[in-house]
Amino acid sequence: MNLFTPPTSEYTTYYKQGAFELTWRYNAFMMLTYTVLMLAGSFIGMNTFLVGVLCWGTPLVSLFVMKQTRKFEMVAYAQVILGSTITGIVLNMNYVPMHVVEVIFMMISSFYAFITLGRKAGVVALSAQLVWCCIYLFRNVEPVVNVPVIEKVALFMALLVSIALFGFLIVEFLKLRRTAENKYMSINQDLTEINHLVNLQYQEKTVMLKEIHHRVKNNLQVISSLLRLQSYEIEEEASRMHFQDAIYRVSAMALIHQKMYQNENLSQINLENYIDSLAKDLVLTHAKHTEVKLDVVSDIQELGNDTLVPLALILNELITNSLKHAFADRAEGVITIKIQQIEETDFFDFTYKDGGEWKSTPKGNSFGLELIATLTEQLDGHVERSYDQGTKYQFKLRDLK
């Protein structure tokens, strides 16, 4: 395996994986650099050679730990702590008259902490370096003027190593940032393409659903027209009225589909708007000369289609009965509809009342009342009715989600 190729880590985030790879390559680079320093130190003296061996062993142990644990935090914290401590001690021991190397190593340690461990660790490392610098400035130790040539060579080599390490960190950081930017641009481009595709599919499905509702509405209107033509051939008035009632029921369902393809939200229809449209259509048909005031109070703005269709048929029956029987031969009338959600349940109260005068009480076995009872059961509800001062229906129905 290539020394600069890190093993597979256990991290799932891109940032952690990048920090792991950076730590691995940083230690690999340190290992090669300290190998050169160790060999050069063998020509200078035993102490310098031993220092090189110690420096060479540090990244070796770090690489071994990272390979075994597949994590970098322990190694990163150890290197930052050792780097901050050793450079501060060397700075204040005044082994050499020039402290460029220590300063560069301090910068390396702080920069490395910022990249791998985050802002807090970087600030702590930088603060520690500043403390060491302050201690050095207040000690007022006189520098050594005469420096042997061999120490100058060692100082020069250490300076080269520190500059190389610092340059390596900068290159790796720029590489990591460039990789992150490319990854971000790639993900952003993929998301843009996915969003564009989703929008196209949504628009296609919306157009298709609107077209379906439009065609269903047209088909229901065709059925209404066929029933109306068929009713012209019926001479018996009662039978013709049954055909007319069927036509109104079909028209009530056609109006639902018409509201659907006219609405932006295909899955929901504004309840008050639908009731108003349905009532106006029925008034124009049954009570052209009667001014009917519709009073709708509802704290439910929208209902699902599974609830709206049965409710629409119930409303059609109730409004039709009121117009045909309660407001017959009257100049005006009032229909009150109140819909109120029952808290913390799927049920709602639905009250229907007209202020008309019925010539006769509806028969309990009429088709209209049976239809209302069937639709009420379909919505898991029940109904109570009275005919005192007009007619009043009190429903408790479930909103089928």
Listed ranges 2-11, 63-72, 380-389; the one with the highest mean pLDDT: 63-72
Listed ranges 26-30, 327-331, 389-393; the one with the highest mean pLDDT: 26-30
Q: Over 50: is that where the pLDDT of 167 sits?
A: yes
**Strand arrangement of the beta sheet that strand 382-386 belongs to:** 291-298, 332-341, 347-354, 391-398, 382-386
pLDDT at 349: 93
Any idea which of 21-35, 127-141, 188-202 has the lowest mean pLDDT?
127-141
Average pLDDT value for residue range 268-278: 77
Mean pLDDT of the chain, nearest integer: 78
Share of the chain above pLDDT 90, in %: 5
Listed ranges 4-18, 109-123, 287-301, 373-387; the one with the highest mean pLDDT: 373-387
Q: Which amino acid is at 177?
A: R
Any idea which of 1-5, 7-11, 150-154, 282-286 has the lowest mean pLDDT?
150-154
pLDDT at 56: 84
Q: Over 70: is that where the pLDDT of 44 sits?
A: no
Q: What does the alpha-carbon distance between residue 328 and residue 98 come to, in Å, rounded to a whole number?
A: 112
Instruction: Please report the domains of the chain, with CATH numbers, ordered by start residue.
Output: 14-195 (no CATH), 268-401 (3.30.565.10)
pLDDT at 238: 77
Q: Which amino acid is at 2?
A: N
Average pLDDT value for residue range 232-256: 78
pLDDT at 294: 84
pLDDT at 152: 56
Residue 377 pLDDT level (bands cut at 50, 70, 90): very high
Question: Checking DSSP bridges between strand 382-386 and strand 391-398, what pairing results, if any?
Answer: antiparallel
pLDDT at 237: 76
Q: Over 50: is that where the pLDDT of 336 sits?
A: yes
Listed ranges 92-101, 158-167, 191-200, 232-241; the one with the highest mean pLDDT: 191-200
Question: Checking DSSP bridges between strand 269-270 and strand 302-303, what pairing results, if any?
Answer: antiparallel
Residue 268 pLDDT level (bands cut at 50, 70, 90): low
Q: Which residue has the higher pLDDT, 125 or 213?
A: 125
Average pLDDT value for residue range 236-258: 77
Can you read off the two tokens belonging to residue 148? 């042997």
Average pLDDT value for residue range 345-357: 85
Q: Over 50: is that where the pLDDT of 144 sits?
A: no
Q: Over 70: is that where the pLDDT of 350 sits?
A: yes
